[in-house]
Structure formats: C-alpha cells, structure tokens
Amino acid sequence: MRLVYRRPGGTWGWFYHDHQDGYWGSSRISLDTDRESAVFYRGNSPAVTFAWRAETCTLHRWGRTMTGAQGRLPAGWSPDVPVRGL
C-alpha cells in the first residue's frame, strides 16, 4: 500500500506501507483537522498515522516514523491517471 498525498500547490508524494496489506479499501479512517492528521485502522487498532503538514507517516506495527515523501509522482499527475509501479 502506498499513501499518496499532495500539499496545496505542491507535487504529489507517497509513502510505502506494506505490499501484503490488502484490506486498505475498507480501512476505517479518522481525520483530525486540528492536529492535521489522519489515522488508518486495522480493525480497532491504529495502523498508520499520516500528519500532512509535517509530511510524516508513522507505521504503528513497526514503531517507525518516516519524514518527507519516499517518492514523488510526475508533474501534472492526478489520482485519475494510473501510474506504473504504484
């Protein structure tokens, strides 16, 4: 799973989570606009927290936080356009 995001006026970036996690299409998400973050759940437990202003992605299961996009998508990309490798 890759979490793809774009800050206003910026380029699209992504964080890689886990290629074996296939349940994300039905994952519960909790948005907290005051903290500028989104929490993605696996069942009742937080699995990933994404803080969009700080551009950090915390993988709770592994106790690991990544800062800054792991990769960027081509200029002009939009969610309506498939990208190879994503």
Domain borders along the chain are 2-72
Backbone dihedral angles phi then psi of residue 35, each to the nearest 5 degrees: -95, -5
> CB–CB of 49/37 below 8 Å?
yes
Q: Average pLDDT, whole number, for the chain? A: 85
Binning pLDDT at 50, 70 and 90, where does residue 18 land?
A: low
> CB–CB of 40/31 below 8 Å?
no
Report how far residue 42's alpha carbon sits from residue 24's, in angstroms, rounded to the nearest whole number. Answer: 8
List, for residues 61-77, the tens digit of each pLDDT value. Answer: 889 999 999 899 888 88
pLDDT at 29 over 90: yes
pTM, entire model: 0.79
